[in-house]
Amino acid sequence: MHRYAPLLVIVLVTALPAAPASALDKVDPYICPTAAHGSGIECFLEAVPQTYTMCRQIKSIEIIEFGLTGAQEGVHGAKTEYCIDKHKLSIARPYQAALREAARSKETAQNLRQLYDVWLESLAKLVPAPDEADEGYKQRVVRPYGEFTERIRAIRALHEAAAKPVAAPASKRKKTAP
């Protein structure tokens, strides 16, 4: 082995360009399968129903274990509270990446903020209300999916419209010879 081989390796490794860092590099692929594609908006739009579902399922387990009225007694609601806190943190990167991507469109950014607020409110409402009937609770915690779907569809449409190039007015277009 040549005596300069280790030095050559160091020079080559440091000379190679590093892969560009993305805000989504540290996002859990279970929360955001498209993180590898680098779309902050798509990642956030996937994360909203996904994280809600995870916490809803945990609350369902607590209800199965302790009943609807006992699911919040003592420490019984701790798993759901932990899930909510965990996902508030896990969605932070996708949310910030989505807002940065939408910076050129105030309307898209506003809709992203509204979706985030609806998501937070929905998570907070996973706790059964006092004297709430089982069937009423089940119907109530499924409703956010409809609102998520509507808002996600609107955000995608706004984002796609903002991404399309604006056509130049007819008077400024190049005229081509016949």
pLDDT digits (tens, 9 = 90+) for 71-93: 888 899 999 999 999 999 999 99
Residue 63's closest CA among 126, 123, 145? 126
Residue 142's closest CA among 155, 126, 124? 126
pLDDT at 9: 41
Question: Considering the chain, what is the average pLDDT of its residues?
Answer: 83
Number of Cβ within 10 Å of residue 28's Cβ equals 16
Above 50 in pLDDT, residue 165? yes
Above 70 in pLDDT, residue 4? no
Residue 117 to residue 81: CA distance in whole angstroms: 17
Give the domain ranges of the chain: 21-161
The answer to whether the predicted template modeling score (pTM) of the entire model surpasses 0.85 is: no
Q: Provide the pLDDT confidence category of residue 161 given band limits of 50, 70 and 90.
A: confident
pLDDT at 69: 87
Which has the minimum average pLDDT: 13-27, 115-129, 162-176? 13-27
pLDDT at 81: 96
pLDDT tens, 100-148?
Answer: 999 989 999 999 999 999 999 999 999 999 889 999 999 999 999 999 9
Residue 171 to residue 96: CA distance in whole angstroms: 40
Sequence-distant (≥ 6) Cβ neighbours of residue 25 within 8 angstroms: 35
Q: Provide the pLDDT confidence category of residue 53 given band limits of 50, 70 and 90.
A: very high
pLDDT at 10: 47
% the chain with pLDDT above 90 = 59
